[in-house]
């Protein structure tokens, strides 16, 4: 009798309590800040940041920009990973050398930050097409794309679709190789309706877009040959999330790229924008040197 009562308590009180705790903590795992907090972070360093947005079909895309006073500078557009948000590139956007040479923008990808938060976009093609309004906005100026992790395949696809509109692209630990994209059995159960509603929305969006990524990468694989503009890759050999073989894949597939740089770092892990942003600066300065030739 006592054991039965304990079991009833466990299922009727204990489990719902755990779920409530998860729900209450989920705000810590949304991976986003308000635009006002982002602006305040820059103001503390006596730098200017502004938040903007645009609509594309049924999507509202939020982005932040800095160093926008000089409209003659090349433009760098940053695309974060999964999960993540536009503030993932704060270190680079505050870098004094980068600010000498670039106007910088960082977007909230669909479903993250303030871009229809919680509404995923599992199509890599659609995610890439969402960049087109920004490319048109800065038409006539050299535009460079920088993508980290899931942002890597977005940048790669953009380099295929908009080859004539961008000056170069930089991929940081990008998940671009379909053969090396892991088959994680737990992802589909995590997307079941009964499970999906209890996890943080940013994690739900991340899971939904990663579920489809492998097939999306296979679909675009033949188009790597369309990339002709300069491309650089930064890959850590200690990356436990994106295998270093992804850099090998790019080296093999981007055969028509006229200037392909594969930078491998034995000591680096996955979190390059947060821990080694100076490497991003170095590659962006390399792009500038090419334009001066």
Query: Which of 263, 293, 290 is CA-nearest to residue 279?
Result: 263
Tally DSSP H helices, then E strands, for the chain: 15, 8
Could you give the count of Cα atoms lying within 13 Å of 83 in the half-sphere of its Cβ? Answer: 24
Least confident of 143-152, 169-178, 188-197, 242-251: 188-197
**Residue range 192-202, pLDDT digits in tens:** 887 888 888 99
Distance of CA 242 to CAs 37, 144, 236, Å?
30, 23, 9
What one-character DSSP code corresponds to residue 156? H
Q: Which residues of 213-230 are buried (b: 16+ CB within 10 A; e: fewer)?
A: bbebbeebeeebeebebb
27-83 per-position pLDDT tens digit: 556 778 999 999 999 999 999 999 999 999 999 999 999 999 999 999 999 999 999
What local confidence, expressed as pLDDT, does residue 196 receive?
Answer: 81
**Phi, psi values for residue 139, rounded to 5°:** -60, 135
Q: What is the pLDDT of residue 27?
A: 53
User: With 90 as the cut, is the pLDDT of residue 142 above it?
Assistant: yes
Average pLDDT over residues 97-108: 98
Could you tell me the pLDDT band of residue 24, with boundaries at 50, 70 and 90? very low
Q: Is residue 11 scored above 90 in pLDDT?
A: no
236: part of which helix (H) or strand (E)?
A: strand 231-236
pLDDT for 14 equals 44
Q: Can you name the CATH fold of 33-292?
A: Rossmann fold (3.40.50)
Three-state secondary structure call for residue 101: helix
Is the pLDDT confidence value at 23 over 80?
Answer: no
Is pLDDT of 13 > 70?
Answer: no
- Does the pLDDT at position 293 exceed 90? no
Residue 186: predicted pLDDT:
85
Mean pLDDT computed over every residue of the chain: 91
């Amino acid at each position: 009798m006592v054991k039965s009562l304990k079991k009833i308590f466990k299922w009727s009180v204990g489990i719902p309590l755990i779920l409530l705790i998860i729900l209450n903590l989920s705000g810590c795992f949304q991976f986003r800040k308000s635009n006002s907090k982002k602006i305040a972070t820059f103001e503390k360093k006596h730098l200017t940041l502004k938040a903007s947005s645009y609509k594309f079909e049924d999507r509202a895309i939020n982005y932040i920009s800095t160093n926008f006073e000089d409209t003659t500078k090349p433009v760098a557009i940053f695309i974060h990973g999964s999960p993540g948000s536009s503030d993932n590139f704060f270190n680079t956007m505050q870098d004094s050398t980068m600010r000498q040479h670039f106007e910088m923008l960082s977007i909230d990808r669909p479903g993250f930050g303030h871009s229809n938060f919680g509404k995923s976009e599992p199509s890599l093609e659609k995610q890439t097409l969402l960049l087109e309004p920004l490319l048109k906005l800065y038409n006539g100026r050299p535009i460079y794309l920088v993508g980290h992790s899931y942002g890597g395949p977005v940048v790669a696809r953009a380099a295929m679709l908009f080859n004539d509109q961008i000056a170069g692209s930089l991929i940081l630990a990008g998940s671009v190789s379909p053969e090396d994209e892991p088959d994680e059995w737990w992802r589909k159960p995590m997307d079941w309706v009964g499970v999906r509603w209890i996890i943080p929305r940013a994690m739900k969006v991340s899971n939904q877009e990663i579920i489809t990524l492998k097939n999306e990468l296979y679909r675009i694989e033949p188009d790597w040959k369309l990339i002709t503009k300069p491309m650089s890759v930064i890959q850590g050999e200690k990356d436990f999330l994106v295998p270093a073989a992804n850099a090998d894949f790019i080296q093999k597939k981007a055969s028509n790229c006229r200037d392909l740089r594969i930078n491998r770092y034995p000591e680096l892990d996955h979190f390059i924008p947060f821990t080694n942003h100076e490497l991003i600066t170095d590659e962006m300065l390399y792009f500038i040197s090419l334009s001066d030739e």
